Structure 1
């Protein structure tokens, strides 16, 4: 069977080697198509390596080449490359693709040289169970979900006939991170030494948005009396009225936004007001900087209040506190947090015993 005519974008590649660019992250992946069987083999994003493998396969020589892999079966590593192209077409956010990509790399390292048809339920169960025993139950669940989808897609593509993940049990996740109360939030706020940390805490509490959204808010996002937010995790598009007032914390969104303006010219609501290391005045805050400084203020507040944390609340816990406070004042917390499911909002509204339940 003769290889199909080369497209203009593949003229610089050896026969049977093709490229495809992921439009979301700009990464180009290479695939070799067996001219005899028509089967495709993913070669990753390294062009030089892909060219070497394809050239070796075309001439049927070289140790540990693609030609040998074609004869040995269906390596899981090849399916990983195919699966990357599948998830790239699903319209996921760039951050989601990065996270999934890192997990695929782990699975590639573990099962890469194995024939996908030989990976057993016992091996998968042992791998997931080891993570759970290492107190990484959440990661175990995430890897199980990814593996199950990878095998489901492999079945649909004819690579294998069974999904060894289906009969495994998902690890139980015990939620242990402590919730923030309003009193503790106010104590942490009082200990915040940087003006930008106070602004970040105010924005997080009154808008209920994630750390990433807080760090990336721009003054130009305020349009027609609304703060426009595109959530990086879900792509959800929100327009939050600047007239929203959170009575419990005496916060008004329009006033908070106005207080973000200082003597430093910046596009970002939360920004450096002076040079710190390589960060210049006006630049946005790195996520780790937000988390680190919040944690330091939290620990100072806890010491003064005599609180001993077993699993201290993080910056993200302000999202849960916001859900509870806005719900108590009659607002739609699900819409504010950008959740598609009310069940997810209920999780955030659960105080996990941190607050008193008032019975009238």
Structure 2
């Protein structure tokens, strides 16, 4: 910003940040195991279970999952344009994702309120980010109480970690390129650098 101000003629003083060493954050390495995922999901509300499943199965960011609507389902695909990168994706609605969409529609049908959003709260209205956080935190606390042996891992669970779990699990099943495609990355190296947290499966020397 200071450099912009110099260019606009607001100041001719040198940038006070010059020479200050930058600080880089360490890469997050937490992998959410199936046991931790299941524990939180078990003690979560119906809206949270839908949100967890949708975020995991599509590999999308929480904000993108919250924006998904019925209108995004076209010709058997879930059409996504990622807010952060504007990357377009078409995720085939098959397998567990198809079952999830039917479950979501069945739950929405029990409410008089009509909304196009796929993720809704307990009243049938669009699920918001603050409400998702409240549901998620409450589920983690209940899960920690009932599954104490996993309490530490449960409390370390961030909702955003589901994107990395989707990447890791897809990579194990179908390879790094498939994981990169699901996350909407232009380069598989981005997926490998930031989202694959478990390492490659390799054989021993002998």
TM-score bracket, normalised by the shorter chain, equals: 0.7 to 0.9
Could you say what the CA RMSD is over the residues aligned between the two structures, in angstroms?
2.6
The within-5 A match list for 1:123-272 is 150-159=1-10, 160=12, 162-175=14-27, 178-192=30-44, 194-243=45-94, 245=95, 252-262=96-106, 263-264=110-111, 265-272=114-121
For the residues of structure 2 that align with 1:239 and 1:195, how far apart are their CA atoms? 26
The within-5 A match list for 1:1-360 is 150-159=1-10, 160=12, 162-175=14-27, 178-192=30-44, 194-243=45-94, 245=95, 252-262=96-106, 263-264=110-111, 265-274=114-123, 282-303=124-145, 304-309=147-152, 312-330=156-174, 332-346=178-192, 347-351=194-198, 359=203
- Give the length in aligned residue pairs: 193
Structure 1 residue 341 displacement after superposition: 4.2
* Structure with more contact order per residue of length (Cα contacts < 8 Å, sep ≥ 6): 2
What whole-Å deviation, never above 9, does each CA across 1:114-148 have from its counterpart, x for those lacking one?
Answer: xxxxxxxxxxxxxxxxxxxxxxxxxxxxxxxxxxx
Larger radius of gyration: 1
Structure 1 residue 318 displacement after superposition: 0.6
What whole-Å deviation, never above 9, does each CA across 1:167-195 have from its counterpart, x for those lacking one?
Answer: 21111423567431122112212222x22
Structure 1 residue 254 displacement after superposition: 1.7
For the residues of structure 1 that align with 2:9 and 2:55, how far apart are their CA atoms? 47
What whole-Å deviation, never above 9, does each CA across 1:311-351 have from its counterpart, x for those lacking one?
Answer: 61111111110110111111522221123443431211114
TM, length-normalised to structure 1: 0.48
TM, length-normalised to structure 2: 0.80
What whole-Å deviation, never above 9, does each CA across 1:297-317 have from its counterpart, x for those lacking one?
Answer: 223223314234386111111
The change in CA–CA distance for 1:177 and 1:291 in structure 2 (over 3 A counts) is farther
